[in-house]
Amino acid sequence: MSDESINRSSDISFSVPFVHRLRVTDDVCGTDFDVLRGVLDGGDTGPARVLLVAETALAASLDRLVARLSAAESIDLVSQPIWVEGGEDSKNSVETIKFLLARINAADLDRRSYVVVVGGGALLDAVGFAAAIAHRGIRLVRLPTTTLAQADSGVGVKNAINFFEKKNWIGTFAVPWAVFNDTRLLESLSDRDYQSGFSEAVKVSLLKDESNFRWLCEHAEGIRRRQTDVAQRAIHRSCILHLQHITEGGDPFEMLEARPLDFGHWSAHRLEPLTEFQVRHGEAVAIGVAIDCIYSSKVLGLPERDMLAVCHCLTNLGLTLWHPQLLPFDRLLRGLEEFRQHLGGRLTITMLRRVGDPINVHEIDHGAMREAIETLRELQPQLQSEATPRIETSAFDSIDYSNR
């Protein structure tokens, strides 16, 4: 006989409040340090316990940060900073995670402690993953040091490492405690890494903000030349569009079919391992966005002039829209299946009908996609010849931008 007091099926939806803290600073290691100190709350149990993990490449420029963290009475810097070689290699091996977990354990961090990570998107991903699984989640404060990480991944709620030669195969969703977009931390970036990050800014504008896309087209040259006010605006607008998508878009943990922010990423994520990660994520995304815009213009009615505007904008930002590893086509196309597998369910790819008007498609016409890639190859000479001329890095300081 069944007991009628036992409810045998209970489906109860619930929601959990999160706070996303973004701070924009000029010099978080110096004059703006108090803004960082302000988010490191020790609670009732004394000073905030902090472990600093940072890119080796930044060691010299982080002296001031280490000194300030050590000197702050409200902060207990639990050990010497942990220096890790940044770049994609940092998320290409489980060894990085084992190493970080061992250091977190040795420092006795708990769930009210903080891991403060300073680095590019790859290191943020690896350290974010370690922090998310240690004790099921230690507070993570991100100080992104690349344009890509400030414009995009830093405010994201994902972390991951690469596995089985596939991008981001192991990872979690975890909301960071706070994110600091600091202008000065970008100064030591190479031109290549500086420029490549803006492909994500173009991507998110194409999806959500046509006027910002037009603005980026107009200011691409200034951004490429590292004109600070223009680049800062581009980064901030992109970051806010990403943040709004996460906090207001209704699907921060990507439970639904569509992943609109992954526009241009099916081929980008395939190209990165095909080039043994010689191509940067931002560079691969530029190519992926160009491919999907060409496809969108062939199949979904995106006006050709807009498709060309995208290609010119990316080229003027200093990005190259071709790589030999895009061929053979069939090998690249496996990226579509990997993309579907990653999410599960139906293949769902975001494309564009108009700038600012995305559409999700569930089938890709392979013939048209092959043509899109061929078109991209044929466009190269035209794009290069019409690109605004390049200048040498050493000339940056002597250029007066005020009249441009």
Q: Which residues here bind ligand NAD, judged by CB under 6 A?
A: 55, 57-58, 86-88, 91, 119-123, 125, 145-146, 148-149, 152-153, 156, 158-159, 167-168, 185-186, 188-189, 193, 197, 280-282
Rounded Cα–Cα distance for residues 188 and 344 (Å): 40
Measure the CA–CA gap between 24 and 157, rounded to whole angstroms.
Answer: 18
Task: State the first-to-last Cα distance of the chain, in angstroms, to the nearest integer.
Answer: 84
Q: Least CB distance from residue 131 to ligand NAD, whole Å?
A: 13
Nearest distance in Å: CB 50, ligand NAD: 20
> Which residue, 145 or 316, has its beta carbon nearer to ligand NAD?
145
Q: Whose Cβ is closer to ligand NAD: residue 57's or residue 349's?
A: 57
Of 340, 291, 338, 320, which is closest to residue 383 (Cα–Cα)? 320
Q: Where are the alpha helices (DSSP H) in 107-154?
A: 121-133, 147-151
76, two tokens? 């207990």
| Residue 78 vs 122, nearer CB to ligand NAD | 122
Closest approach of ligand NAD to the CB of residue 114, in Å: 19
Name the minimum Å distance from CB 45 to ligand NAD. 31
Please say whether the beta carbons of 127 and 100 come within 8 A: yes
Minimum distance between the CB of residue 5 and ligand NAD, rounded to whole angstroms? 46
Could you tell me if residue 266 is left (phi over 0), alpha (psi between -120 and 50 degrees) or otherwise beta? alpha
Instruction: Identify whether the C-beta of residue 328 lies closer than 8 Å to the C-beta of residue 370.
Output: no
Nearer to ligand NAD, 49 or 91 (CB): 91
Cis peptide before 328 (omega within 30 of 0): yes
Shortest separation between residue 347's beta carbon and ligand NAD, angstroms: 21
CA-CA distance, 242 to 197, in Å (whole number)? 14
157 vs 308, beta carbon nearer ligand NAD: 157
* Alpha-carbon gap, residue 372 to 159, rounded angstroms: 31
